[in-house]
Amino acid sequence: MNVAVQGPPVVSLDADVISIRFCENLAGCELLEILVKNWGLDQSGRLGFKYSDGNLLRIGVGISLGCGGVSMAGGLISALAPHFPSGSAATLTFTVDARPTSRNSRRMATPAALELSYGSGLIEFHPILRGGLKRPPARNPIVATGTAEGLPTLRAGTSVKIGGVGTAWSGVYSVTETTHTFDEQYGYRTSFACSKA
């Protein structure tokens, strides 16, 4: 995951990132939260609270998130929350109101259906068959949630072909919501909600 502060010059925060959470859904709502180490040398080489006391991260500054050459989100900082915990180093969480990305351009950059198989890229999958008395059982929709190894192209509005979960649950699903997370414990993972008619 690559986090950059926009402006001349573009500054990378990668060395200080502790965790990242990027959420999006089909309504175009995108939210990006990033937790960084806040203690150390600032841009001018002074030791201190390098982000909460500096002018690099402030309300209205542009931030971009990318992974493996895929641009995932970009927007402006809307909130800053420094943390000064007892017994550990200071941190700073900043929230970015990400600019909505066109679903059309996202589809063009993504294969027709990404493929995930349980045990090979797909970590968890939880389908639910929704029933209704007014439609035949074969027409009941399946809704599901899942978690995959980090996949920047798994985005709301894409299709994903799920395999390795049995005949009834395998197939092509439409992704309705995603949450991309990166942290020191689990690395990069993508959680998603999807449906299959």
Name the residue range of residue 156's domain: 105-196
Tell me which DSSP letter residue 107 carries: H
User: CATH number for the domain including 138?
Assistant: 2.40.30.150
Distance, CA of 32 to CA of 17 (rounded, Å): 13
Distance, CA of 44 to CA of 138 (rounded, Å): 65
Domain co-membership, 85 together with 14: yes
End-to-end Cα separation, the chain, in angstroms: 33
Domain co-membership, 36 together with 111: no
Question: CB–CB of 78/125 below 8 Å?
Answer: no
In total, how many domains does the chain have?
2
Distance, CA of 102 to CA of 181 (rounded, Å): 22
Model confidence over 122-172: pLDDT tens digits?
999 999 987 765 655 556 789 999 999 999 999 999 999 999 999 999 999
**pTM (predicted TM-score):** 0.86
What the block records as the tokens of 51 is 């982000």
Model confidence over 52-107: pLDDT tens digits?
888 889 999 999 999 988 889 999 999 999 999 999 999 999 999 987 554 444 44
Q: Is 54 helix (H, G, I), strand (E, B) or coil?
A: coil
Domain co-membership, 126 together with 74: no
Domain co-membership, 181 together with 135: yes
